[in-house]
Amino acid sequence: MSIRIYNTLSKSMEEFTPIEAGKVRMYVCGPTVYNFIHIGNARPMIVFDTVRRYFEHKGYEVNYVSNFTDVDDKIIKAANEEGVEASVISERFIEECKKDMAGMNVRPATTHPKATEEIPEMLDMISTLIDKGHAYAAEDGTVYYRTRSFKEYGKLSHKNLDDLQGGNRELKVDGAEQKEDSLDFVLWKPKKPGEPYWDSPWCKGRPGWHIECSCMSKKYLGEEIDIHAGGEDLIFPHHENEIAQSEAANGKTFARYWMHNAFLNIDNRKMSKSLGNFFTVRDISEKYDLQVLRFFMLSAHYRSPLNFSDELMEAAKSGYERIINCVSDLSFLIGKKENSALSDEEKELLTKVSEFEKSFDDAMDDDFNTADAIAAIFELVKFANNEIKDEGRSREFLEALKGKIVELSDVCGLIVEKKEELLDSDIEALIEERQQARKNKDFARADEIRNELLEKGIVLEDTREGVKWKRA
């Protein structure tokens, strides 16, 4: 079956057809780096990393681009408070963000562009928009997008321009009096004292927020892409404005599928510092393995609001541990078994394993329903836990079970095989200790060491030439 995606643009489920066969061009709006990322920011990272992994699992080659917004009011404010350049703040938090991503097993994007490194591309696109009549420079050098010039404005957020105009009328925006129309938005703005700035044909200044994604997407993925994604708060105005910029400048459909994750709330309230219910990913890492946070995020469908609470994190922890324990039990048994081929009964049983995999794929094909996909992994774990009790099962059979659990978990980005890699020298030392114990007729200790090694996947073999070992 093919992958179906809920497209915000059409408000319906659509079958995924790539622009180029076997390839996916995907852009995910990344964080503004003025602080540690919070657990709300972690949701799109985890969700869309899982989408990427599933496409790869299905054999697609994914070009995945995700930006860092490294010039913005909040970054400038933090820099001024600390008395440093804005780039000091943004570089610091890009590095911290990458550490959190690694902890959550979110793979680095194919490219992570930064706004400040793409200014020439932005100036180019703004010039094109002016030339085509979609933008204009005001007297002070601010460049505005002429929103009404783009006839399809509102198609993503399903908003009507006149309703927007009504809602906007009361807004008191800085410099609003120089706009031709209250709907027009900023592409370039003049510098203020203490702000980073760049030269441009209109004034020394810096870009508006929306233009960076239009330019980076074009530069790294091309004028037309398959998937554009982010949190649902970005639908309007950010993504609506990106479409207006890109489609007016390039004359092509910008993105075919628009995916948006719902919000993460805490204790059923919007996350906010002032309410005291605000956690960074770093805060959570002090209490939990970040894999538990990943498991928690994937336990709900990405389009459903998700509530963060201690109870749900504890439930996620025990769910995640259930998979780890099963894999660890399987590893232990595999290490103890001599090689043996599959019996006919086992071959029959493995068809059952394919059914669990099919349920997993069906769930993921259905707009990446990770909640049901994890339920399919649990079914497989339950099946494996039952099979473990049968002492007659062959090594090959147990390996097949373990392999499938690890593989499907990996599609979700969940690391379920704890690899406490023992160094060769540690192994040799333990073997030496075991030999000594045997010489002293301390067979209990000798057995203990053998089992300890087995648990870590090291199999010992006593031969005439001495003890040999291998990794299971």
Residues of this chain that bind ligand AMP (CB under 6 A)? 29, 31-32, 40-41, 43-44, 230-231, 233-234, 261, 263-264, 271
Between 44 and 113, CB nearer to ligand AMP: 44
State CA 213 to chain mean position distance: 18
Contact 88, 81 (CB under 8 A): no
Place of tokens 């469908």: 301
Whole-number minimum distance, CB 34 to ligand AMP, in Å?
Answer: 8
Distance from first CA to last CA of the chain, Å, rounded? 36
Between 124 and 410, CB nearer to Zn ion: 124
Q: Which does 104 bind (CB under 5 to 8 A by kind): ligand AMP, Zn ion, none?
A: none
28 lies in the binding site for Zn ion (CB under 5 A): no
Between 236 and 469, CB nearer to ligand AMP: 236
Task: Look up residue 314 and give its two tokens.
Answer: 């504890």
Whole-number minimum distance, CB 259 to Zn ion, in Å?
Answer: 13
Task: Look up residue 257 and give its two tokens.
Answer: 């599928």
Q: Which does 245 bind (CB under 5 to 8 A by kind): Zn ion, ligand AMP, none?
A: none
d(CA 161, CA 82): 42
Name which of 324, 306, 353 is nearest 414 in CA terms: 324
29 lies in the binding site for Zn ion (CB under 5 A): yes
Neighbours of 164 (CB within 10 A): 19
Q: Which does 264 bind (CB under 5 to 8 A by kind): Zn ion, ligand AMP, none?
A: ligand AMP
Between 109 and 213, CB nearer to Zn ion: 213
One character per residue 205-234, x = contact with Zn ion (rule: CB under 5 A): --------x---------------------
State CA 89 to chain mean position distance: 23
Q: Which does 227 bind (CB under 5 to 8 A by kind): ligand AMP, Zn ion, none?
A: none
Between 271 and 350, CB nearer to ligand AMP: 271
Cα angle, residue 295 at apex, residues 413 and 283 outer, rounded to 5°:
105
Q: What is the DSSP string of 344-386?
A: HHHHHHHHHHHHHHHHHHHHHHBT--HHHHHHHHHHHHHHHHH
d(CA 259, CA 350): 36
Q: Phi and psi of 395, rounded to 5°?
A: -60, -40
Contact 303, 6 (CB under 8 A): yes
Q: Of all residues in this chain, which one has the CB nearest to ligand AMP in the complex? A: 231
Q: Which does 31 bind (CB under 5 to 8 A by kind): ligand AMP, Zn ion, none?
A: ligand AMP
Contact 255, 53 (CB under 8 A): no
Between 43 and 456, CB nearer to ligand AMP: 43
Whole-number minimum distance, CB 381 to Zn ion, in Å?
Answer: 38
Between 35 and 250, CB nearer to ligand AMP: 35
d(CA 385, CA 143): 64
Q: Which does 213 bind (CB under 5 to 8 A by kind): Zn ion, ligand AMP, none?
A: Zn ion
Whole-number minimum distance, CB 430 to ligand AMP, in Å?
Answer: 47
Contact 105, 291 (CB under 8 A): yes
119 lies in the binding site for Zn ion (CB under 5 A): no
Whole-number minimum distance, CB 343 to ligand AMP, in Å?
Answer: 49
Q: Which does 200 bind (CB under 5 to 8 A by kind): Zn ion, ligand AMP, none?
A: none
Q: How many residues bind Zn ion (CB under 5 A)?
A: 2
d(CA 215, CA 195): 22
Whole-number minimum distance, CB 344 to Zn ion, in Å?
Answer: 56
**Residue 18, Cβ density class (10 Å: 0-12 exposed, 13-18 middle, ≥19 buried):** middle
Between 8 and 261, CB nearer to ligand AMP: 261
Whole-number minimum distance, CB 201 to ligand AMP, in Å?
Answer: 28
Whole-number minimum distance, CB 35 to ligand AMP, in Å?
Answer: 9
Between 74 and 336, CB nearer to ligand AMP: 74
Contact 51, 298 (CB under 8 A): no
Residues near 375 by beta carbon (within 8 Å), at least 6 away in sequence: 359, 363
Give the bridge partners for 207, in sequence order: 188
Whole-number minimum distance, CB 418 to ligand AMP, in Å?
Answer: 29
Question: Beta strand pairing status for 255-261 and 135-137?
Answer: unpaired
Whole-number minimum distance, CB 234 to ligand AMP, in Å?
Answer: 5
Q: Which does 263 bind (CB under 5 to 8 A by kind): Zn ion, ligand AMP, none?
A: ligand AMP
Whole-number minimum distance, CB 311 to Zn ion, in Å?
Answer: 34
Q: Residue numbers of the site for Zn ion (CB under 5 A)? A: 29, 213
